[in-house]
Amino acid sequence: MTARRRGTEARVSGTEAGWYDDGSGRRRYWDGQGWTDHLEPAEPGLGGALNRIEAAAVSGGQPRPAARGASYVVLQVILKEKLWGTGSGNLPELEKAINAQAALGYRLHTITTSSSGSKGLGGGDRIQATMVFERLT
């Protein structure tokens, strides 16, 4: 999707406006098209650390731009293996995350995976895909 602004064409971001981790332990407001100067300071103590970890886990697979001045974004996507059979059937989830970052102007730089190896009734394996995206200039 594109939008015209002052005679130039600009790409409209698919990332919704909201508070996102800016990589420094604080959350910065993304207005839907760019980072603002509005910061939410980190909560002190253990409660603040737990809240930051939870927020990072929830937003891990969500496309987002790099923090101001940064050139890379790291996303983690948790994939769950099927209970029966082989393979996860989660390739579309990885493809969606990669395409969403590409729409924001990033290319996939590196991808690594690790498996928990937790096999059990109804559990299946959990695979964590860590992707590093580089901003295209």
Q: Are 107 and 100 in contact (CB under 8 A)?
A: no
User: What's the rounded Cα separation, in Å, for the pair 4 and 123?
Assistant: 49
Query: What's the average model confidence in pLDDT over 98-102?
Result: 87
What pTM did the predictor assign? 0.46
User: What's the rounded Cα separation, in Å, for the pair 65 and 32?
Assistant: 10
Please say if the pLDDT value at position 85 is more than 60. Answer: no
List the alpha helices (DSSP H) in the chain: 45-59, 91-103
Strands 8-11 and 18-21: unpaired
Q: Are 78 and 128 in contact (CB under 8 A)?
A: yes
Size of the chain, expressed as the number of residues it contains: 137
Query: What's the average model confidence in pLDDT over 98-120?
Result: 80
CA 49 to each of CA 19, 43, 54, 55, 69: distance values in angstroms, whole numbers, following the listed order: 16, 7, 9, 10, 24
Write down the pLDDT at residue 65: 72
User: What's the rounded Cα separation, in Å, for the pair 92 and 110?
Assistant: 18
In the chain, where are the structural domains located? 2-135
Write down the pLDDT at residue 3: 37
